[in-house]
Structure 1
Amino acid sequence: MSMTPTEMAGRIVRYGELQPCRTAFIDAHTPGSDQKENFTIIGGGVSESADQHVHINEAHGFNIGAAGQPPKCRNSLHSHRTAEVFFVLKGRWRFFWGRWGTAGEVVLEEGDIINIPTGIFRGFENIGTDYGMIMAVLGGDDAGGGVIWAPQVIEDARDHGLVLGENGKLYDSKKGQSLPEGVGPMPLLTEAELTQFPELAALDVVPGHVARYWDLMALAQKEPAKVIGAEARLKDRPGFEVELLTRGSIPGEMHSHDRHTVLMGMRGHWRFAWDGGETTLAPGDTLSVPPGLAHSLAPAMTGEASLYRVKATEDPAGPTWRG
């Protein structure tokens, strides 16, 4: 399999060319959440807005996205039916969870990664001093069919002009929009339904769902550090695997994969070569490697170099399955 440089350019999303959506979700007008930017990099994602730009609209078996937020900006409590994995590209972030966001929390630094358990309400907040960015991997091509919001999020949004229809689309009264005829508002979860969302303490989440960057860097000195997978540090099978690669653990020879693979730059610059050309990846860049394409990786300069590699697996995307 070969690919021209022009064809490959269409599979690379540069960090500096990411196109944000500021009205992606129901809390876009809610004070405290109204400055966030959402990015859909690969796949349709879970955005509720028709304004969301999709950079690479090709099914991979998982979705890649990102969230950018200034200090003290937070993402409201929600849940997913498939995996939601984040790593911190820039800044310092607090992740919290539970019905009211008080069941547990953990602070992540740059490079740290969290595989949030499915079936719990979760949110996150930039607690750093500058604009921060977290990169996300969502399980499944349709990411579980969308977002499940805690009831108070829907109520707060309605007070600030945004209504989520039962069709999963947002309607903004500040723009003169209203629910179409025959479409009702998204119903709030009942008390009986809310009992299905467990309140997990930090000790129930952090040990098996959080991996620290410098621990992974130490593990990846001679071979890729397996971060998420059946035999990985965070044992889960969400429909994809995640590894951390460093200059000491890269496969220097040409190789290929039989499923979609995505490279996500963390630190340093990387030289990516394939049958047809060569390019350089910088921190925050995302590259989609098609199945069967022979390629190689090498650091492009001295210094710290790391990237996360996400590979599709045959496991079905669904609730967290650890084991």
Structure 2
Amino acid sequence: MSTLNDRIVRYGELRPCKTAFIDAHTPGSNQKENFTIIGGGVSESPDQHVHIRDTPGFNIGAAGQPPNCRNSLHSHTTAEVFFVLKGRWRFFWGRNGDAGEFIAEEGDIFNIPTGIFRGFENVGTDYGMIMAILGGDDAGGGVTWAPQVIEEARAHGLVLGNNGVLYDTKQGQELPHNVQPIPTLTEVQMKDFPETPVEAVVPRYVARYWDLMALSGKQPAKVIGTDALLKDKPGFEVDFLSRTSLDDSPITPDKHVVLMPMRGHWALRVGDFDTVLNPGDTCLLKPGESYSLAPSMTGEASLYRVTETDDPAGATWSGAA
């Protein structure tokens, strides 16, 4: 039986994987680190460490990258939500990454539409970190790479099999006899991925940190959900808490909840257990597990809270503004 300590992953204890994806050898992408915090995540490498294997209807992960390092263009069939924990990031999308882009600052959150190719890079001056919420229990089942990403990876020795496993030909690895390289999409198939302009994405799928701070003065700000700032049904809801959003009354959720501090130190009490959650920490709470939460020190304090819902694990993107 797991204890609450088993369901808290501290930022300083995160274990990265540097060979998680097909572009791990591609110049410009070969310094990125992937973190799988809750659930199996989307890694294609058997070297990926999973901190908490429970899947509360969604996955939690993170990406860490030095300046000028990028994550290559890919698409998801389920939700992919990022908030910037550290640094400054450029998100871009489209077949060649030039259909639209925007710069995300610390605390900003982006509910990336499904069905479009997307990528991101650290455009700050220091090592950066973005936290991820991925829809569904099997977040790795719906990832598609842009054709040029697969071709560039092959040129640098990495081949992704149709079994979802990476093989490094420069290390002498060969695909098993019953495994074929994952095929690149045809031109006809590529037409199913829209070249969505920035004005159709940013207003509907991006929430800025300081706007959320202003909205969370007396109660949590609803960020993602049917009646939230970013209206969607991706299989979870997200709200944003600041210093004055909650009192110290116990809360008893009927679904899984994940707490992800952005700024400040948060005192968490679950039954007789007391702890402090810090920026970059991740805590999984089970249904029926009463908790109270409050900032433990003076100064700026903010936290993202993710709650499981019964909705299917896909965003409601329809391609329309």
TM-score normalised by the shorter chain: which range applies? Answer: over 0.9
User: How does the TM-score come out when normalised to structure 1?
Assistant: 0.97
* Letter of the structure 2 residue corresponding to residue 22 of structure 1: K
Aligned residue number for residue 86 of structure 1: 82
Q: What is the rounded CA distance, in whole Å, between the counterparts of 2:92 and 2:16 in structure 1?
A: 24
Question: What is the aligned counterpart of 2:35 among 32, 39, 44?
Answer: 39
Q: Relative to 1, partners in 2 of residues 1:267 and 1:107: Cα closer, same or farther, differing over 3 Å? A: same
Q: What is the rounded CA distance, in whole Å, between the counterparts of 2:164 and 2:142 in structure 1?
A: 7
- Asked if 2 retains the 8 angstrom alpha-carbon contact of 1:268 and 1:301, the reply is yes
Instruction: State the Cα deviation string for residues 144-197 of structure 1 (Å, max 9, x = none).
Output: 614200000000000001000011110011221111111110011111110000
Identity %: 71
Aligned residue number for residue 99 of structure 1: 95
The question of 1:212 aligning with 2:171 is answered no
Question: What is the aligned counterpart of 1:60 among 37, 56, 61?
Answer: 56
User: Which runs of 5 or more residues in structure 2 are unaligned?
Assistant: none
CA RMSD after TM alignment = 1.3
- Asked if 2 retains the 8 angstrom alpha-carbon contact of 1:40 and 1:55, the reply is yes
1:161-240 to 2 correspondences below 5 Å: 161-240=157-236
The question of 1:48 aligning with 2:44 is answered yes
User: How does the TM-score come out when normalised to structure 2?
Assistant: 0.97
The question of 1:71 aligning with 2:67 is answered yes
1:257-296 to 2 correspondences below 5 Å: 257-296=253-292
- Asked if 2 retains the 8 angstrom alpha-carbon contact of 1:82 and 1:144, the reply is no
The question of 1:142 aligning with 2:142 is answered no
- Asked if 1 retains the 8 angstrom alpha-carbon contact of 2:113 and 2:317, the reply is no
- Asked if 2 retains the 8 angstrom alpha-carbon contact of 1:36 and 1:68, the reply is yes
* Letter of the structure 2 residue corresponding to residue 189 of structure 1: L
Question: What is the aligned counterpart of 2:303 among 300, 303, 307?
Answer: 307
User: Which runs of 5 or more residues in structure 1 are unaligned?
Assistant: none
Count the aligned residue pairs.
319
* Letter of the structure 2 residue corresponding to residue 181 of structure 1: H
Q: What is the rounded CA distance, in whole Å, between the counterparts of 1:179 and 1:164 in structure 2?
A: 9
Runs of at least 4 residues off by over 3 Å: none
- Asked if 1 retains the 8 angstrom alpha-carbon contact of 2:114 and 2:317, the reply is no
Q: What is the rounded CA distance, in whole Å, between the counterparts of 1:178 and 1:276 in structure 2?
A: 53
Q: What is the rounded CA distance, in whole Å, between the counterparts of 1:222 and 1:177 in structure 2?
A: 57
Question: What is the aligned counterpart of 2:248 among 252, 264, 268?
Answer: 252
Q: Give the match's secondary structure for 1:192.
A: helix
- Asked if 2 retains the 8 angstrom alpha-carbon contact of 1:83 and 1:320, the reply is no
